[in-house]
Amino acid sequence: MHNMAYKTFHYKLCLYGVCFLSGAFISKLADDKITVDVLRNAQQMIGLKFTDAQLDSATANVAEFRSSYQRIREQPLSNDVAPALQFNPIPVGFEFEQKREKFEVERRKGIKLPANREDLAFYSVPQLAELVRTRQISSEELTRFYLDRLKQHGPTLQCVTSLTEELALEQARRADQEIKAGKYRGMLHGIPYGVKDLLATKRYKTTWGSVPYKDQQIDLDATVVERLEHAGAVLVAKLTLGELAMGDVWYGGKTRSPWDLNKGSSGSSAGSAAAVAAGLLPFAIGTETLGSIVSPSTACGTTGLRPTFGRVSRHGAMALSWSMDKIGPIARSAEDCAIVFNAIHGPDGKDLTIVDAPFNYNKNIDVRKLRVGYLQKDFERDYPFKENDKATLEALRKEGIELVPIELPNLPARDLTMTISVEGAAAFDELTRSGRDSMMVQQHKNAWPNIFRAGRFVTAVEYLQAQRVRSLIIQQMHEKLKGIDVYLSPSYAGSNLVMTNLSGHPCVVLPNGFQKNGMPTTITFMGKLYGEAKVLALAKLYQDLTNFDEQHPPMALSSSK
């Protein structure tokens, strides 16, 4: 959920020496008396200066608070217990569509099995769906095909935590029986996929990519997993993520980009992007808190959809930041993402942040009538992918898309990323206090163990003040986007990635070229809140005009069999 670029924003709190606190030391502090000297030192961290008399008056209250902390800590709180506060990204005056239209993707007619079966590795979901629907290939055959590829290339890419082979074959055989009986469920019926291993599955470990949890069993299926099963999809693998959803380093190694095995696949949806890019799966599920779909999609050249906050239930998913975590598909194309998103979005009665907004993706969307903006000043900056992004803008203009310059709010978005530090520290409170954070692979100052410790020194008042500024971002984003359906942004240049993860806006990140070293580049298409249908439609138009989504990495991908 959390991109490694996050570390570049942080951590001034380390200057105060909090880096060296351990769980045992935190516990010992509770035995120390609260004095004026203690409070005088503590206030330096929050940039305030009270008189000694004022501090003296506060000592009894602070001591009482600390006693309350201790009693609260005695109450067991598992990661799945959310705070009694819910983030709402909807600004004043915002309205989403009320009319519900039929989801529609054009069926691929005349699709035939390729002479070389290995070509199936890079078929789109509609292409595979037509082969399965017409019974040119069984779901079981297709499932074994992808299982073989995962077994062959998964260790090289270090992108798999668990193969779910027994379950996969059961689901595939069931799909074949249903399709034979005329009970076809739709384009995902019989199609293999993988999930980022922070989504719970009953029969297999859910490791969160981290040493302290590498043998963890959670006796439930996440809502996303349940919904894909209902759609007839076949779960074949649980895929790597950087430990506790940051980066590409997990307890088993470092997940690699199939474009260059000397480079990591970024994070934290590292395995999901790497597996799809390498043709080990048609699609996978990822998550994003601050770049964890955008970043690995860039490193691996995949197409990813980060939905609006509150679109896809997080029930059964590891919580890192209750107000920022989002679940979405990583696939070959925008159209594939639309098909998967259609199956997983909507309320489940378990994640109470979910809004029941329609998803009206179909062929009736007239893309050329969309009002499209672009962050002109950001595209004019000097940054590594500038020429590829410029070519993307020109390709759309040649198709008659008028690009209107827009700007984002001028607010301190990066300073608000403390939200993740605080909410993450709460989500992994027990890990910190127990000292088990020392088991994690990454132990440098920008790694989770220290970030969680530092997060404890952000006061509740400052956290809430940050959320009030976040309210300004939400409202000002609404004002800036009036009259705009979709806008384009560089994937990294400027503040868009941070700003929109805080505001909850959806995006599609898609490949748009290559660097000189052969690594892919991406550009980001942004939607309005709950506007996934329009942003996906524009992204599909661009992908119809270009072939970047059809490029495959040069690593040895053919089967050894």
Which pLDDT tens digit goes with each residue over 262-312? 999 999 999 999 999 999 999 999 999 999 999 999 999 999 999 999 999
* pLDDT computed for residue 27 by the predictor: 46
Q: Decide if 175 is inside a domain.
A: yes
Q: Cis ω on the peptide bond leading into residue 6 (within 30° of 0)?
A: no
Which of 421, 423, 416, 426 is closest to 501 using CA atoms?
416
Element (H, E) at 195: strand 192-196
Average pLDDT on 100-107 reads 94
Q: Kindly state whether residue 66 falls inside one of the protein's structural domains.
A: no
Cα–Cα distance measured from residue 137 to residue 129, given in angstroms and rounded to the nearest whole number? 10
Are 541 and 370 in contact by the 8 Å Cβ rule? The answer is no
Note whether residue 271 is domain-resident. yes
The rounded distance, in Å, linking the Cα atoms of 256 and 239 is 12
Amino acid at 379: F
Q: How confident is the model at residue 554 (pLDDT cuts 50, 70, 90)?
A: confident
Query: Looking at the domain assignment, is residue 449 inside a domain?
Result: no
Domain hosting residue 150, numbered range? 117-411+469-550
Residue 53 belongs to a domain: no
With cut-offs at 50, 70 and 90, classify the pLDDT of residue 32: confident
Please report, rounded to a whole number, the percentage of residues in the chain having pLDDT higher than 90.
Answer: 91
Among residues 296, 273, 290, 518, which one has the least CA distance to residue 413?
Answer: 290
Per-residue pLDDT, 244: 98
Look at residue 558 and tell me if it is in a domain.
no
Nearest to 286 by CA among 325, 336, 235: 325
* Number of domains the chain is built from: 1
Assess if residue 462 is contained within a domain.
no
> Residue 6: what pLDDT?
41
Query: Does the predicted model carry a pTM greater than 0.85?
Result: yes
Tell me what the mean pLDDT of segment 322-336 comes to.
98
Q: Which CATH number fits the domain that encloses residue 370?
A: 3.90.1300.10
Instruction: Read off the tokens for 75.
Output: 């109450």
The closest alpha carbon to 40, from 32, 28, 51, belongs to 51
Active site residues: 196, 268, 292
Is 328 within the bounds of a domain?
Answer: yes
DSSP 247: S
